Every structure is written in structure tokens, then in C-alpha cells.
């Protein structure tokens, strides 16, 4: 039985056709497309109608495969959303989470509601671009949008609405807004009231694996397709990636590695302790009654932006070339805190890294290789730090770390992560989000019994490469230097 997964990342999207044959999954990319945000003046937005167009192209490619999927699912990044009027018309292009309009908004909200209250009601990590702060920013800068709004839909909800005509929200993505109460299991009316945000725009919340409609008549007529069911999968791409972690044991740690790095574990109930808030961990929704206790780490965004900066200077490097250059540089020459806010916006990342080094009394890296080595080593050591905090908060001791996502193609990063944590790294699958998206569809269709059978099938279907730790004493010493040179600030972010 085949299913179709649309997996949208912050820089590209793809349509993946998956076929389940007994105990193995065959996955084929049938359509890939860029997801280029658009800067207009000083605003940064997503080209949502282009993404919808590309989804329709993916449906046509699936039709061309001569095997129509039994169902469809869409996953994407979190926090961003669209507002629609009472007639269901989109009021604006969704803003990009790196749009500058949310600068300072989180601090203004804290003057109205203490952070401890927000965390106790939502369990979500404080990030300046969370949906709650985007909505408050719109309320302050463009209040007429909220006055006209009839519906709030996050990115996969919005695209699913375009396909089906049905407006519903999905659980894993809803939790990332910092407006969903995981204890009450619904939108937090008290937070909405205190922030003067309209509660009527929020839709009912579906759990992953619930059918959310079928292709609407306008789509089937345009594309010549039957009315295929569309499921609410784990629509936050990290939730889908975690669903695909090929773990052998119920207690496991994961790192979803891509533009963002997200590290954590699966828990049965949210961890809402004061310590979790102090460490700025988050409790995002997972599949089948679970929560993802995790922490966002800036991730390979820093490397991606450095590469883009060099391209703007007319110097073109492939990622493999940059990694080879990094491997040739001396080890542990300079460290950054990957989660320092200076690295969040788009811009000249090599300059910011040199400025950070100078500010922390380190010798600034000058060559591209030295800069990339600094980024990768700092990420590996940050991963160790967050893994230790995850163990402390969850009360678990992990035997190793599962890495999934496109970042596992960076073999040096995988090996350096194993060295840094002093434990094995199990890397795979690279297409974790798409595999998790498909797994939820097959469970819903009755082809797989539960998430643990799905994980076993994924483990049997995709290569998982094992990286054993090496040079552990050297990395142990480097860990001490990392914490010293980053001033301990990484613990608090």
C-alpha cells in the first residue's frame, strides 16, 4: 500500500511516495522544490501559494507513477501560521519566524504575564518567534488583521485546508504555539484573555492519525484525481522525525539534525518543573499520547548562512568541500555558543563568529575551514551539554544518541558528536520526517499496528550507521574549554 508524504523544510520541500511491502518500506522522491522566503521591504514572509502550487505538482507526479496513494499527509516547520477571514480567504502571506517584527515582543509579554505562569500553562520553551509573540506583534502593528480574522491555521493546517476545505488544527504543531495547554488538552483561554487575543479564531485540535478530510472537488477536478483521504499526521516535522526514530528501547534520546537541531526524549507527560523552565526546555506534542521533552539548538543554520555569505562574495563551496577544509584545521581553536541570539537572524555569519570570538577573548577564526570547524565542534559539544540536561530532567540515562535528518550526511559532525558525548551515535534514517509522516498514515490505514511496529519496520528498511566514540579524553578536555569560553551562558538558553 502506498502513501504520499509532503515534507516541507525551511529551505526546500519534497513529495515522497512510500510503498509498504510486508516488513520493508520503499521510499521514492517524486518531486522536490525550493522553499524560498520572500523579503519585501523590512518584512520576511513565506510564499505560501507557491508551496500550495508545488504540492499540486507533487500530486500530479504521484498520478504519473501509475499507483495512486491511499492517503496523503503534510508536515512542516512549526510556529508560523496564516490568518483567514470569515469566508476562508487568506488575509496575508504568513510571516517567517525570522521576521524582525517580534524583536522585543517576548519581553513586553513578560510584563503582562510572568514567564513562570506561561511555562506552567504551556510547557513550551521561550523563543522570540513563537506563535504567541507573532500574534502579539500583529496585534500591535496590524490590529486590523486580527479584527478581520476568522481562523488561525498553522502552515500544514493551512495547506491541508487548501486541499480539503476543512479547517482543523493538529496537535503536535498546536503545542509549539505556546498557547496550547497540555494538561487541559486545549487552547489556553486564560492566556488568550490576558493578551487580548481572539479565542474564536482557533480551531478544534486533532491527534496525529486522524483523517482530516478528502481532496476537495476543485482539486480533484483540476488534477483529475479521485477524492483521496488526507490525514493529520504528526505535522510538526520534528514530531514526524521522532516518530521515525528506529529505537530498540522505550527509553531513548534523539537529535533531529538539520537547519535546526532538536534534541530530547519521549515522555508520557510534560515536564513542567521550575528547573525545566530555567533550562528553557520545551514539551511539544508527540504521537499517540506522548510528549517530546526537548531543546531547540541553532543547528546547521549557522553553517548554511556562512556558506551563503561566501557565495554573496562570489566564492562557491560545496558542503563536502567546507567539511574537508574544516578537517584540515587545528582542533579546538575557537568555540561559539550556537544558541547565542546573535546567530539567529540571517546575515553575515563569518563576521558574527569572529566578533563573538573577539568578545570572548578568543583568537577569531579567519579561513572558511577554521570557521566551519568552529561551528561543527561547538555544535557537537553543545549536543553533549543538552544531552546531559535531558538525562537530568527526564531521570533517564541513555546508552547513546539517535541522529535523524539531513544533517547525518555530515559524517564528521556525527563522529565528533559521538566523541563529544562519549557514547555511540546511531545515524539514520536521513529522511526521518517523511518516514514518520508515512508511518502514521499506515497505522491509521491499519497496515501497521502501532508506533513500535512502525519503528521496527523503519529500522529494517533504512541504513543506520553506528559511530563509536574516539579520542574521548581530548574531547573531555575540550568540553571544559567550551563551557569556559562560552561563559556558561549556554546552560541558560
Query: For residues 206 and 196, what is the distance between their CA atoms, to the nearest angstrom?
Result: 25
3-class DSSP state of 17: strand
3-class DSSP state of 474: helix
Q: Which of 408, 422, 343, 417 is nearest to 377 (CA)?
A: 417
Out of 80, 157, 188, 237, which one is annotated catalytic? 237
C-alpha to C-alpha distances, 356 to 165, 273, 366, 421, 487, nearest whole angstrom: 49, 32, 13, 25, 12
Q: Using an 8 Å Cβ cutoff, are 416 and 3 in contact?
A: no
Q: Using an 8 Å Cβ cutoff, are 463 and 316 in contact?
A: no
Residue that the C-alpha cell 498557547 belongs to: 179
Q: Is 237 a catalytic residue?
A: yes
State the alpha helices, DSSP H only, in 114-198: 115-122, 131-141, 143-148, 155-164, 171-175, 189-194
- Which stretch of DSSP H or E encloses residue 453? helix 451-461
* Cell numbers standing for residue 100: 524582525
What lies within 8 Å, CB to CB, of 4 at 6+ separation is 15, 16, 17, 18, 58, 59, 62, 69, 71, 72, 73
Query: For residues 362 and 302, what is the distance between their CA atoms, to the nearest angstrom?
Result: 19
C-alpha to C-alpha distances, 149 to 144, 146, 395, 428, 493, nearest whole angstrom: 8, 5, 43, 42, 34
Query: For residues 229 and 287, what is the distance between their CA atoms, to the nearest angstrom?
Result: 20
Q: What is the DSSP secondary structure assignment for residue 38, as one 8-state letter?
A: E
3-class DSSP state of 108: helix
Active-site positions?
Answer: 237
Amino acid at each position: 500500500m502506498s502513501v504520499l508524504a509532503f515534507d516541507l523544510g525551511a529551505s526546500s520541500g519534497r513529495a515522497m511516495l512510500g510503498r509498504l511491502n510486508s516488513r520493508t518500506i520503499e521510499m521514492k522522491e517524486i518531486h522536490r522544490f525550493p522553499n524560498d522566503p520572500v523579503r519585501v521591504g523590512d518584512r520576511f514572509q513565506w510564499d505560501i501559494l507557491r508551496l500550495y502550487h508545488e504540492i499540486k505538482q507533487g500530486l500530479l507526479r504521484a498520478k504519473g507513477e501509475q499507483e495512486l496513494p491511499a492517503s496523503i499527509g503534510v508536515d512542516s516547520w512549526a510556529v508560523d501560521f496564516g490568518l483567514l477571514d470569515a469566508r476562508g480567504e487568506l488575509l496575508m502571506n504568513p510571516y517567517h519566524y525570522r521576521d524582525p517584527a517580534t524583536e522585543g515582543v517576548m519581553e513586553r509579554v513578560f510584563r503582562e504575564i510572568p514567564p513562570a505562569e506561561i511555562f506552567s500553562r504551556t510547557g513550551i520553551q521561550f523563543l522570540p518567534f513563537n506563535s504567541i509573540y507573532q500574534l502579539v506583534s500583529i496585534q500591535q502593528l496590524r490590529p486590523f488583521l486580527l479584527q478581520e480574522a476568522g481562523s488561525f491555521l498553522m502552515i500544514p493546517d493551512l495547506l491541508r485546508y487548501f486541499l480539503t476545505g476543512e479547517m482543523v488544527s493538529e496537535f503536535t504543531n498546536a503545542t509549539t504555539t505556546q498557547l496550547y495547554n497540555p494538561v487541559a488538552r486545549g487552547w489556553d483561554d486564560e492566556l488568550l484573555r490576558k493578551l487580548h487575543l481572539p479565542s474564536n479564531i482557533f480551531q478544534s485540535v486533532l491527534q496525529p492519525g486522524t483523517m482530516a478530510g478528502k481532496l476537495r472537488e476543485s482539486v480533484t477536478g483540476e488534477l483529475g484525481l479521485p477524492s483521496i483521504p488526507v490525514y493529520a499526521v504528526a505535522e510538526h516535522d520534528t514530531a514526524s522525525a521522532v516518530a521515525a526514530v528506529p529505537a530498540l528501547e522505550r527509553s531513548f534520546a534523539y537529535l533531529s539534525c538539520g537547519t535546526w537541531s532538536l534534541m530530547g526524549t519521549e515522555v508520557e507527560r510534560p515536564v513542567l518543573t521550575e528547573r525545566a523552565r530555567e533550562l528553557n526546555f520545551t514539551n511539544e506534542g508527540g504521537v499517540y499520547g506522548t510528549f517530546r521533552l526537548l531543546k531547540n539548538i541553532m543547528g546547521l543554520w549557522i553553517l548554511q548562512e556562512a556558506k551563503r555569505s561566501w557565495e554573496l562574495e562570489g566564492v562557491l563551496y560545496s558542503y563536502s568541500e567546507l567539511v574537508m577544509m574544516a578537517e584540515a584545521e587545528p582542533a579546538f581553536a575557537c568555540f561559539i555558543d550556537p544558541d547565542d541570539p546573535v546567530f539567529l537572524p540571517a546575515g553575515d555569519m563569518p563576521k558574527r563568529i569572529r566578533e563573538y570570538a573577539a568578545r570572548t577573548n578568543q583568537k577569531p577564526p579567519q579561513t572558511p575551514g577554521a570557521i566551519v570547524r568552529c561551528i561543527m565542534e561547538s555544535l557537537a559539544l553543545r549536543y553533549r551539554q543538552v544531552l546531559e540536561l535531558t538525562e537530568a530532567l527526564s531521570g533517564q540515562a541513555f546508552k547513546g544518541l539517535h541522529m535523524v535528518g539531513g544533517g547525518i550526511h555530515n559524517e564528521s559532525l556525527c563522529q565528533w558528536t559521538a566523541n563529544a558525548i562519549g557514547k555511540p551515535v546511531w545515524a539514520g534514517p536521513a529522511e526521518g520526517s517523511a518516514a514518520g509522516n508515512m508511518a502514521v498514515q499506515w497505522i491509521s490505514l491499519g497496515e501497521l499496528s502501532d508506533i513500535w511496529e512502525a519503528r521496527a519496520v523503519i529500522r529494517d528498511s533504512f541504513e543506520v550507521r553506528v559511530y563509536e566514540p574516539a579520542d574521548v579524553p581530548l574531547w573531555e578536555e575540550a568540553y571544559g574549554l567550551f563551557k569556559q569560553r562560552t561563559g556558561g551562558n549556554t546552560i541558560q538558553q
